[in-house]
Structure 1
């Protein structure tokens, strides 16, 4: 009875010790990389969306304080469910921030908009 094993990466024959799993160092490395990528997939997806959100907010916020239709931002890849922190002003309005750019949900003239602001020192308090 032969104890023939195949490499899980390339399906080549595995020769050597009985506990050896991969046919080569290269296949072992490929397997470790792919496993890490699978584990990191959620993190990478969230990170990618946060970076996209910041880029979109920065693009539309030319003056430091801008009102923009939600539809425009969303069409450019913005997803309001991804943000890094929030800030509540004295009126109780809650601004959601993506790093240094924040947005506040508004309804102006029956249209759905976001007020985009840039983080200020006084917001730390």
Structure 2
């Protein structure tokens, strides 16, 4: 009996594949395992950035008791705020820079204080 050298194998577990000619995996479990393994580094990076953004937003939300408030930069740092992570910025015509974590914003003032505000509706 002649061996079939054209046998396609699962990209994850290398078991023989049956069925469609474009099939790459023998099961959903193998497909998921393969994609999780291949995308692990990117997924972890994105997860860490999203966690930092959510944490920053939560801290701003907790400290901004009204529509705007002023706190010292050290208070944000003690709460775990990371100034390197924000979702967007806005520069005014006068050159003032505002940073946002989704809808919660802040402006770093020269005296070590930070003005907290809610992003205005567009």
TM-score (norm 2): 0.70
Deviation of 1:43 (Å)? 1.2
Partner of 1:22: 13
1:3-18 to 2 correspondences below 5 Å = none
Shift of 1:50: 0.7
Contact 1:67-1:114 within 8 A present in 2 as well: yes
Equivalent residues, number = 103
Shift >6 Å, 4+ stretches: none
- Residue 33 of structure 1 is matched in structure 2 by 36
Change in 2 beyond 3 A, CA 1:69/1:23:
same
Measure the CA separation in 2 of the matches of 1:119 and 1:58. Answer: 12
**Superposition pairs for residues 55-66 of structure 1, below 5 Å?**
55-66=58-69
Aligned partner of residue 110 in structure 2, secondary structure: strand
Partner of 1:114: 114
What TM-score, normalized by structure 1, do the two folds share?
0.68
How many angstroms does 1:58 deviate by?
0.5
Q: 2:18 corresponds to which residue? A: none
Query: 1:102 is matched with which residue?
Result: 105
Structure 1: runs of 5+ lacking an equivalent: 1-16
